[in-house]
Chains A and B, each alone.
With several copies, the nearest count.
Chain A
Amino acid sequence: MRDVAVIGVGCTEFGEHWGTSFRDLFVKAGALALEDAGVTGENLDALYVGNMSAGRFVEQEHIGALIADYAGLATNHVPSTRVEAACASGGLAFRQAVIAVASGMEDIVVAAGVEKMTDVGTGASVDMLASAADREWEGFAGATFPGLYAMIATDYMHRYPLTREQLAEVAVKNHENGAKNPIAQFRNRITVDTVLNSSLVADPLRLFDCSPITDGAAAVVVVPLERAREFTDSPVRVLASAQASDTIALHDRRDISTLDASVAAGKRAFAQAGLAHRDIDMLEVHDCFTIAEICAIEDLGFCKKGEAGRLTAEGATALGGAIPVNTSGGLKACGHPVGATGIKQIYEIVSQLRGEATGRQVDAEIGMAHNVGGTGATVVVHILGA
């Protein structure tokens, strides 16, 4: 297997792009990534695209080909493959790109993620997001996606000493980071009271515990490490790429409050990279809800079960903390175009490792990305090193 490096990254602003279509969103992100990499479209060997639900959001399947076409790659017949694992689609697209390069099959590969969510109403998008979980046996009973994470929160707070205020601190910290990120959907600072006074969505989760509905796209370029210096002076190495699955339904899990797929993917990633927790300088984790960030930090092994709330309230995961988490603002403040999120995590880590995260820069040489599909039925973990 060949070593793989990221040589370029690009990302649209995240938010509500009323005037921009699905295909234009992608073209923007792709062009930014290629420009950053100093690569032209003619040189691309393959494209992997993460997208959850264009079939339902914009009635379009066959997204890989669509995107290759509008990115101007059809003339060269560049292979383009869509991968889908709900909210982990982006992370999986990156992983497939890494595997394709590692195999020796391809040399210059773009991994991208895109989602156009605001073309449908809120009720419809709630319904669509529920299709990331078990439609037959969760959705049918009336489970919404926030409702499933709310049941994780209820179980967690029953068993561990997490307070409602500590949970709110996750959102406060991520808005603080988002305020410093020019691509973030929300750049306003909030307080614990903002969260506690927002409307209940599914007890105990309130509106400000939830990531928003977002349009956006992100793209990165990967090549064999041995060729990286042809393109850039600051390649970022892919030190590990791990993936794990679990039951589609929350009710079938071994433990409601532990995402076993996070545990498994995290362990596999550390083993692949030959690294320990103390080697990781920053984390981008999948905070689709505040409780999800708490679980992620613990399930990846950065602290014991039950401690992440206290650590967050103490500032350990803030920009200046022992282990900065979600310097981008996370899904909560940066926004969560589901298929794009996993690629945006790579974008953020590369920006940080290259020292280009102006205004929110942390001191980091190694970063970890953690991308979750559904309530944990798919988890993808990557470790990147400068």
Chain B
Amino acid sequence: MSVSRFWRKIPQRYNLIGTRCTTCGRYFFPPRSLCPDCRRSGKIVDHKFNGEGTVVTYTVIRSASDQFENTTPYVLAVVELDEGPRLTTQIACPPEEAKIGMRVHSVFRRVAADGESGTIHYGTKFVPAE
């Protein structure tokens, strides 16, 4: 991933900053600049999510792309944030503990090493809530 493409979304990736449509109240993460419901009449503002959520579905990745091959196996999941939107994320937990319906919260972690540039990408992962 190119450096500028990564840095552009650092606030979103590091701090779970998405957006909200103040017209209809819908939350977006990943962030959207256009509300699909309100379109041009929707007013979009930034929103920092609290990072609490629930696992909707998951898998254990055993064979990954080059960037992630050193970290297999890892748990990949769709998490529904308490505010509504869903995102794809890793769950930092042993594969056998992952479950649908599991409560999780966000943490700041190393996500991937980019072989091409040598850069280490940080971002948000989730861990099981106590």
Contact = CB atoms under 8 A, between A and B. Distances in A.
Interface of A: 18-19, 21, 24, 27-28, 31, 34-35, 40-41, 58-59, 70-75, 118-120, 123-124, 126-127, 130, 134, 136-144, 146-147, 150-155, 158, 199-205, 249-252, 256
A72 to B, nearest CB: 4
A252 B86 contact: yes
A70 B36 CA distance: 8
28 contacts: A21-B5, A27-B33, A31-B34, A41-B39, A72-B36, A73-B36, A75-B37, A120-B2, A126-B63, A127-B66, A139-B65, A140-B121, A141-B76, A141-B87, A142-B111, A143-B88, A144-B63, A154-B58, A199-B62, A200-B62, A201-B62, A202-B60, A202-B76, A205-B59, A249-B30, A249-B88, A251-B78, A256-B78
Given A120-B2, A124-B66, A251-B88, A137 B30 contact: yes
Nearest to A71: B34
A118 B4 CA distance: 9
A155 B8 contact: no
B67 interface: yes
A58 B5 contact: yes
A118 B5 CA distance: 9
Q: Indicate the size class of the contact surface on chain B.
A: 35 or more
B34 A151 contact: no
If over half of B's interface residues share one DSSP class (helix, strand or loop), that class is named, otherwise mixed; here it is mixed
Given A126-B63, A251-B78, A154 B100 contact: yes
B109 to A, nearest CB: 11
B15 interface: no
Contact of A203 (B39, B56, B60, B123): B60
A203 B95 contact: yes
Given A119-B2, A120-B2, A250 B78 contact: yes
Contacts of B39: 31, 40-41, 72
A123 B58 contact: no
Contacts of A150: 59
Contact of A151 (B57, B95, B121): B57
A120 B87 CA distance: 27
B27 to A, nearest CB: 12
B9 interface: yes
Given A24-B33, A249-B88, A202 B9 contact: no
B112 A140 contact: yes
A142 B76 contact: yes
Given A72-B39, A250-B78, A140 B87 contact: no
A41 B38 CA distance: 10
A251 B40 contact: no
B83 interface: no
Contacts of A199: 62
A203 B62 CA distance: 8
Given A24-B33, A140-B112, A200-B60, A158 B78 contact: no
Contact of B8 (A21, A147, A158, A205): A21
Q: 4 nearest interchain CB pairs?
A: A72-B36, A150-B59, A155-B57, A127-B65
Contact of A137 (B36, B66, B88): B88
A53 B112 CA distance: 24
Contacts of B67: 127
Interface in B47-73: 56-69, 71
Nearest to B36: A72
B78 A202 contact: no
Contacts of B2: 58, 119-120
Nearest to B65: A127
Contacts of B1: 59, 140
Contacts of A204: 59
A143 to B, nearest CB: 5
B129 to A, nearest CB: 19
B77 interface: yes
A123 B34 contact: no
Contacts of A153: 59
Contacts of A200: 60, 62
A70 B88 contact: no
Interface in B98-113: 100, 111-112
